[in-house]
Structures are given as C-alpha cells and as structure tokens.
Structure 1
Amino acid sequence: MSALPTADGLTRSERLDRLPFTRKHGRLLGTAGIGWALDAMDVGLISFVIAALAQQWALTSIETSWIASIGFVGMAIGATVGGLLADRIGRRSVFALTLLVYGIATGASALVGSLAALLVLRFMVGLGLGAELPVASTLISEFAPKKIRGRVVVWLEAFWAVGWIIAAVIGTFVVSASDDGWRWGLAIGMAPAIFSIAVRWGMPESVRYLLSKGRVDEAERTVREFEAAAEVPAPAGPSRETETTDASPSRRTDGAVSAASPDASAPKVSIWSPMLRRRTIALWTVWFCINFSYYGAFIWIPSLLVDQGFSLVRSFEFTLIITVAQLPGYAAAAFLIEKWGRRPTLTVFLIGSACAAAWYGTASTEAMIIAAGCTLSFFNLGAWGALYAIGPELYPTNVRGTGTGAAAGFGRIASIIAPLTVPFLISGGGPLLLFGVFALAFAIAAIAAWTLPEQRGTALE
C-alpha cells in the first residue's frame, strides 16, 4: 500500500480512483451482480414460457410476440425514468425499488389465467427491469478503481450470463416438466422482491452522487470505509473539493467534461449539449441496434427451434448450451477492455456478432446450429459487457444516470420492435432473411461504436 500517493490534497473521487480492488468492492459488485443475474433470469425465462404457452394456450405468433414486446415497452419507460430518478434520489434507492417492483410482478404472473392479465404484469416487470440495469452499471462505475473500471463493469455484466443460464436450467427442467411448469418457473422469479431488502440496507450510496447533493459528511464516511478496507490511511485534513465540487462540471478545451469546478453556479449540462451531443447520438445508435438483434434472436431461438421440428425439451437443451457460451465472451471482453480499450473492444465484438448472426441464418444441422449459436452468444454478450462499461464514462455525475438511462430507454424501443418483426421476417424469407437483418444491425452498431471517444484510464469526470 505504500506505493499509493498520500490522500492529502486529493478529491474524494480521486481517493476512490487510486484504491486497489478490495473485498468491499467485491461485496458491492456481488450485490449488484446478483440483482443483475435475477434480471437476466426473468428476461431469459420468458422465452421458455412463450414457447410453452404457445402450445398450451394455442397462441398465434402475433400473440406470443406481444408477450415479449410488452415487457420491453415497460423497459423503455423504466430505463428512462429510472435514470432520471437515480440522479435525483440516488442510485441505491432506485436499484432496490426496481428489484421489488419486477420481483412482485413476476411472481404474480404465475397466477394468471388469461393473456391480457399476463401482458399487464409483463409490462410491470419491464418497468422494474428497465430501470435497474443502467442504474446498477452507473453505481458500479462510480466506485470502481479508475485503472480497472471498465473491467469491473464487464464483470457486472457477466452476471447476465449467469442469470440467463439459470433461466435455461429452469426452462429445461421446470417449465418443460409439466403443464404448470411455466407457472412454477415464474414463481421462482419472486426472488428479487426478497433480495431488494438486503440491497437497500447493504449497499453504499454513490460518493459522487452524495457530493452532487451536498451530502459531504456521508460521502467522506463512505470514502473512509473503502480506504479502511484497502488499509490506506485517510487524509489528515479535509479533501480538496467543497460541498458542491462534484456537482459542477466545467468545460475542457477538448470539449469533454472536466473534473468538477468549485463554482457552484456552473449550469448543469445536458446530454444534448454541444459537447455531449455526438457521443449521445452514437451511443443511442449502438443501443438501438444491439437491442434489436439480441432480443430478436435470443427471445425467439427456443420457439424457432420448435418450428424447425425440434421438440420443446430438445430446443430448450440447445438454448442452454448456446447460453453457456456467454461466459467466455464476457471473460474475453473483461480482459480486452483494459488492454485494447473500450472502443476497439466494443467494435470488434459487434463485428464478430454480425458474422455469427449471418452464419446462424445459414445453419441447418444440429452441429451448425449449436456452433453458430455459441459464436453469436460469445460475441454478442461480450459486446454487451463493453457497452455497459463505456456508457457511464461518457457523462458527468449530474447527468450520468440520465445519460445511461436514456440510451437504454431508446434501445428498448428496438427490443419492442424486434419480437414483433420476427414472424414477418420468417414468413418473408425464413431464418436467412431474419438473421441477415440482425447481422446488418450489428454492423451499423459497430460503425457507431467506432465514433465514441476512448475513455480508458480517464477519470469519470
């Protein structure tokens, strides 16, 4: 620890940035990651429920499409509102509230007896899910040490694969086990409601958020707790910033947002201000295209396999195998994001996703379906990890939640559209046309990603 600079004269944000990764960071990551995994479990589980209900309730392709899409309508609204609330009432409070909302709604879904009731509850689930994801990545990015911030956020995103694998296991061994298997699967989804209690009282609030609200004593106390965990001595005197320091971003000569200015009268920036407009447009483009391709493909894969003649159980087994390939994709992205940087990693994984989607569209044998599906999982989820890492780094503290939430909310529009377009694309040109469109969307996202600024090794503000 002696190699670290003294804390005297550093801002509280700089004191956090200089710390090594400690058990306290690990507990924060684990707590947020469990919430993230539970999110993924819910999103993944609905793909298996759709396949089961299509047979049990004799649903049309349009009706099953709406089961998926209505949740994404809620996610679009939830992501936007959740980001705004995170900048006003805090990251921790919004995170816990969203877990409670979608956990209760998912459990209630197990009791429905009609399509209309299921659609209403899936919308409520979407509200919670949409708000939770960008808020969690923002909170983690604001605590992670600067040198490994991108890697830590990718580790958080890797919990998505864990949740999706759990969903695949539940789908394979619970949903397909009986006529009421889908109800038992959804009942398991109530876990987030219970977990939200532990989250609310066990997670620290963002230091940068606390400073932006003038809650200096709380911020100092939290920083000292992280310093104590790293066995780093706290400063003898006060930190350099004033109570309003972190709330007042100023312009730099390169057009980005600098570390906070002590001028409390500095105006709040907007994500559409001249210095942030280009990165907002590029980020929204990536979010839209990756949502369209990911949810269009992975929500429908179990049903598409059934349509190709595979049994429900066999299609679920294929999906489980394909899902496992997400884990090495995250691992590769976590390694490369601090080696190559955010922009190259995101771009390369999006290009890989485009190639894999094109390959899956031509797959005809079991071996090809599994190989192409695993490749798509590897690159697509690695791209997701890099995207969640780069998003919070593009904005200053007072609009960080808003910026990441708005991008996620815009992306959810694509996730609404994608499941609805799948039946029409399949009828118009089969899997080749469907996955060709997904490949094109990934390619557009790769172009937009390359225009984003590289933030590796830079301070958040």
Structure 2
Amino acid sequence: MSMISARIERLPFARFHTHLLLMGGLGYMFDAMDAAVLAFILPVLRTAWNLSSVQIGVLGSSTYIGFLFGALFAGTLGDLIGRRAVMMSALALYCAASIVSAMVDTWPAFFAARIVAGMGTGAESAIIAPYLAEFVARRYRGAFTGALAGFFSFGFVAAALLGYFIVPSYDNGWRIVLVITAVPVVMLLWWRRALPESPRWLESRGREKEAEAVLDRIEAVFAREGRLLPPPVVEVVPPAGTGGTLLANFAALLAARQARITIMTWIMWLAITFSYYSFFVWIPGLLVQNGMSITKSFGYSIAIYCAQIPGYFSAAYFNERIGRQATIATYMVLGGVSALGLAFAQTDQHIILAGILLSLFMNGTYAGVYAYTAEVFPTPIRTTGAGLASAIGRIGAIVSPILVGYLYPNFGFAGVFGVTTTVLLLGAVTVVLMGVPTRGRSLEEIAAGETA
C-alpha cells in the first residue's frame, strides 16, 4: 500500500463522505427514475402516436440498449481519462437527451433520444460506485457502496408516484414527467463541480503530485472540523501496476488469476439482471392472465417499489457484517424462494407478501453486487472491469423478456420460474466459489493478494 492509499485508509467516516454519498446517490436516484418512468409513459404514447406492439417493444428496449453501451464506454474511459470527467459528462448527456425526448413528436425520434439518455444513465451507474469507493476506508466501504446503490430505490418510488399522479392528469403529462426527471440534474451537476478526482486513480496514472494535492485538500476539511487524524500506516503490498492503453486494460482483465474474478463478475451480473427483469417485467402480466387483478392496483405497485428501500439498505448493512459474497448469495437464494412463493400464490394477500419479499431480496442483491464489483478489480482497470460487467448484465435485461415470452406459452409458470430460479442459484454458487473475500481489506490488498 502506498502513502496515498494509507492516507485514505486512515480517514474516519465524516461529513466529507456523507457529501459523497448524497452526490453519488442522487445520481443513482435519477438513473432509476429515468428507467422506471418509461413503463408509465409507453401506454400513453401507444394511444397518442397509434403505435403497434412491435413499436412499443422497440421503445421499451431503448433505455437498456443505451445502458449497455453507456456502461461499456464509461468503464473504459474511466480508467483512461479519469472517473470524475466521465461521471460529469454522463450526467450532462442524460439531462440533455431526456429534455429532447420530452419535446419530440415521433416515435423514431423518441427512440433515438431514449437510447442517448440510456447511455448517460448507464455510464453514470457504472462509474459512480467504483469512483466513490476509492475515497472510503476499508472498514466502511461495503456499507457505503451498498447504501449508495440504495438510492436506486428512491428513484423507483418517485417514478411510480409521477407515473400515477402526473402522467394521466395532463394532456402532456408524459412530457412534464420527463422534464421533472431531467431539470434537477442541472442542480446536481452544479453541486458535483467541487468533486475531486480519485487520488488512487491519479496515482495509478503516475500523477502522484496531483493525488497528494487532492488528499491535502480533503485532510484540510478534517482539520477545520477539529478532527485529528492518526498517522498513516503504510503496509507492504506489491503495486498493482500503472494504467495502460484501452487494449492493455481489456487484456489485463483476462490475464492470470484476474480472469477468474472477471468471469465471476460477468456471471454474477448476468444472473441477477436476467432474473430481475424476468420477474419484474413479466410477473404482473402473467399473474393477470391467471385472473389475479391485484397486480394492476396502485397499492400493489407502490408496495413492490417501497420494498426496495429495506432491501438495499439491509444488504448494505450485511455487506460489512457477513461480507459481500455471503450477502449476494443469500439474497439471490431468498429472491428465488420468494419468486416461487409468488408463482404459487392463491390469494391477493399472498401475492402482495411474496411480491414484497421478491422486491426486497432481488434489489438487496444489487447492493451487494455494486459494492463487490467496485472492489475486485485493481485500480488501473477498476472502471473497465466494472463497466464491462455491468454492460454484460444489461444483455440479460434485453434477453430475459424475450426468453420468458417463449417459455410461458410452452412451459407455463413452471418453465419460467424453473429457468430464472436456476439462473439465480447458479449466480449464487459462482460468487461463493469463484469470488474472493473483500471485507476488511484495502483495495490494494485485494488486488495484490487475489487478483494481481
């Protein structure tokens, strides 16, 4: 561990970190609002623009297509040009594209704008966790990053409220909602302007003087608050190397023991994203087909969205108590059990209970996944690895609704839940067997001991 890392590791959790949590978390909240609000807008556009089912399906996929490319580009650029620059650019791109999408009058233009907006949100969500985790000491990092992801839940709840109360209340309610989700981002951009670049990344690019200057400013904040910092403890840890070119960074992901970690993150992201979108895109419709009209109710939807909040924040707590691997595996398995309970529910009360538990555990899994992904790659390739894993996960979001659409007519509930639950169990086993422990270890120790 270098002096730069040692200085970060000695920082107690303080107001500085709370500001990081709020600035990053609000970004995740707007990302979630952007993704979730589309479900409430599409039925209005279908009528207003006389769209076919195919056209609606294409529009529904627009955000996820943008997510895929946004996450991939953000990850690669984050290691090459810096985390902060990518995060700020992604937020500005999303804001501009979302406002444009509120002004268009044809579905092809809306489709294009939503892809660009999705690129912004995909880039934002891929870069925030690995960027901000580099500022946090090992003893807080898992809970901090899990809580950071927890802001997604607030975005989904806000989208549901906007979708139910604003969209149907005005002739152009869908345009109003899109503007509401975009305009506050300008304020967030202004607030984030003071965010420093990651000292760990600066050091990995050979810019030690700049890294030291950033830490000097951070430590000055602690001094003004009267907080005395202990002397830094430099541990003997082999360096993870310096940042390379685009091709060199991709090659490093599959070199030596790092390959096992990289493939583990791919399977982990595919498993949770495939299963998540299988359940939440299709379950309401499948239950309605079976005569369970409760899934159309506002109360059911709000309960499902609100259950995300304890899901994310309970997992953030367990990230530090039992470790990231155990948290992810446990929540994946309990999510599968909840899905089976929903599949065999016979009453409205059982549907609501199983749906709440499913939402709690599936979203809680993401709190572990985001925290874990931000830790298991060395600093020079951290955002490349995290962005690629997130992008591969988005493939699961695109493929799962199509596969479920095939499975249900041919194999019914048993086929749908059999496949998705099996995928979840595969993901849990992969994380346990192929992953590495990260709780209580510095980012440099993880890289040197397991993934170098």
Q: Give the match for residue 380 of structure 1.
A: 362
Q: Give the match for residue 194 of structure 2.
A: 202
Q: Name the aligned partner's letter for residue 334 of structure 1.
A: A
Report the Cα distance in structure 2 between the residues aligned to 1:313 and 1:70, rounded to whole angstroms.
25
Could you tell me how far 1:162 is from its partner in structure 2?
0.8
CA contact (8 A) 2:91 2:189 kept: no
The secondary structure found in structure 1 opposite 2:74 is helix
Report the Cα distance in structure 1 between the residues aligned to 2:432 and 2:337, rounded to whole angstroms.
17
Report the Cα distance in structure 2 between the residues aligned to 1:407 and 1:102, rounded to whole angstroms.
21
Could you tell me how far 1:299 is from its partner in structure 2?
4.1
Q: 1:391 aligns with which of 351, 373, 395?
A: 373
CA contact (8 A) 2:204 2:243 kept: no
Report the Cα distance in structure 1 between the residues aligned to 2:93 and 2:275, rounded to whole angstroms.
27
Q: Give the match for residue 390 of structure 2.
A: 408
Matched, 1:26 2:33: no
Could you tell me how far 1:310 is from its partner in structure 2?
8.0
The C-alpha deviation readout for 1:25-55, integer Å capped at 9, x for no partner, is: 1101110111110001111111222344445
Report the Cα distance in structure 1 between the residues aligned to 2:82 and 2:383, rounded to whole angstroms.
9
CA contact (8 A) 1:22 1:229 kept: no
The C-alpha deviation readout for 1:374-415, integer Å capped at 9, x for no partner, is: 111110111100001111211111100101011011111111
Q: Give the match for residue 337 of structure 1.
A: 319
Q: 1:137 aligns with which of 129, 145, 149?
A: 129
The C-alpha deviation readout for 1:138-195, integer Å capped at 9, x for no partner, is: 1121011111101100010000001111111111111233453222222222136414
Report the Cα distance in structure 2 between the residues aligned to 1:398 and 1:326, rounded to whole angstroms.
33
Residues 55-454 of structure 1: pairs in structure 2 closer than 5 A: 57=49, 59-191=51-183, 193-195=185-187, 197-231=189-223, 258-260=237-239, 270-300=252-282, 314-431=296-413, 433-451=415-433, 452-454=435-437
CA contact (8 A) 2:101 2:178 kept: yes
Structure 2 CA distance for partners of 1:179 and 1:317, relative to 1, 3 Å: farther
The secondary structure found in structure 2 opposite 1:288 is helix
Structure 2 CA distance for partners of 1:51 and 1:187, relative to 1, 3 Å: same
- For these two proteins, the number of residue pairs brought into alignment is 436
Matched, 1:460 2:443: yes
Report the Cα distance in structure 1 between the residues aligned to 2:118 and 2:409, rounded to whole angstroms.
28
Structure 2 CA distance for partners of 1:183 and 1:222, relative to 1, 3 Å: same
Q: Name the aligned partner's letter for residue 422 of structure 2.
A: L
Could you tell me how far 1:100 is from its partner in structure 2?
1.2
Q: Name the aligned partner's letter for residue 283 of structure 1.
A: T
Structure 2 CA distance for partners of 1:455 and 1:302, relative to 1, 3 Å: same
Structure 2 CA distance for partners of 1:105 and 1:262, relative to 1, 3 Å: closer
Report the Cα distance in structure 2 between the residues aligned to 1:272 and 1:180, rounded to whole angstroms.
49
For structure 1, the 5+ residue unaligned runs are 1-8, 242-251, 253-257
Report the Cα distance in structure 1 between the residues aligned to 2:303 and 2:2, rounded to whole angstroms.
49
Question: Please, what TM-score do these two structures have when normalized by structure 2?
Answer: 0.87
Q: Name the aligned partner's letter for residue 70 of structure 1.
A: S
Could you tell me how far 1:222 is from its partner in structure 2?
2.0
Structure 2 CA distance for partners of 1:169 and 1:135, relative to 1, 3 Å: same
Report the Cα distance in structure 2 between the residues aligned to 1:263 and 1:134, rounded to whole angstroms.
21
Which has the higher mean CA deviation after the structures are superposed, 185-194 or 394-403?
Answer: 185-194
Report the Cα distance in structure 2 between the residues aligned to 1:202 and 1:436, rounded to whole angstroms.
49
Report the Cα distance in structure 2 between the residues aligned to 1:263 and 1:136, rounded to whole angstroms.
21
Matched, 1:14 2:6: yes
Q: Name the aligned partner's letter for residue 140 of structure 2.
A: I
Which has the higher mean CA deviation after the structures are superposed, 211-220 or 378-387?
Answer: 211-220
Question: Which structure has the highest helix share of the two?
Answer: 2
CA contact (8 A) 2:102 2:179 kept: yes
Report the Cα distance in structure 2 between the residues aligned to 1:426 and 1:212, rounded to whole angstroms.
50
Report the Cα distance in structure 2 between the residues aligned to 1:338 and 1:15, rounded to whole angstroms.
21
CA contact (8 A) 2:407 2:415 kept: yes
The C-alpha deviation readout for 1:416-444, integer Å capped at 9, x for no partner, is: 11233343344445555434432222122
Report the Cα distance in structure 1 between the residues aligned to 2:100 and 2:286, rounded to whole angstroms.
27
Which has the higher mean CA deviation after the structures are superposed, 411-420 or 424-433?
Answer: 424-433
Q: Give the match for residue 450 of structure 2.
A: none
Could you tell me how far 1:213 is from its partner in structure 2?
2.5
For structure 2, the 5+ residue unaligned runs are 445-452
Question: Please, what TM-score do these two structures have when normalized by structure 1?
Answer: 0.86
Report the Cα distance in structure 1 between the residues aligned to 2:83 and 2:243, rounded to whole angstroms.
22
The C-alpha deviation readout for 1:106-163, integer Å capped at 9, x for no partner, is: 2222233333222212211221111111210011210111111011000100000011
Report the Cα distance in structure 2 between the residues aligned to 1:340 and 1:82, rounded to whole angstroms.
31
Structure 2 CA distance for partners of 1:77 and 1:401, relative to 1, 3 Å: same
Q: Give the match for residue 244 of structure 1.
A: none
Structure 2 CA distance for partners of 1:459 and 1:391, relative to 1, 3 Å: same
Could you tell me how far 1:64 is from its partner in structure 2?
2.9
Report the Cα distance in structure 1 between the residues aligned to 2:344 and 2:182, rounded to whole angstroms.
39
Aligned-residue CA RMSD (Å):
3.0
Report the Cα distance in structure 2 between the residues aligned to 1:264 and 1:308, rounded to whole angstroms.
55
Report the Cα distance in structure 1 between the residues aligned to 2:126 and 2:365, rounded to whole angstroms.
15
Report the Cα distance in structure 2 between the residues aligned to 1:187 and 1:433, rounded to whole angstroms.
41
Q: Give the match for residue 248 of structure 1.
A: none
Could you tell me how far 1:289 is from its partner in structure 2?
1.5
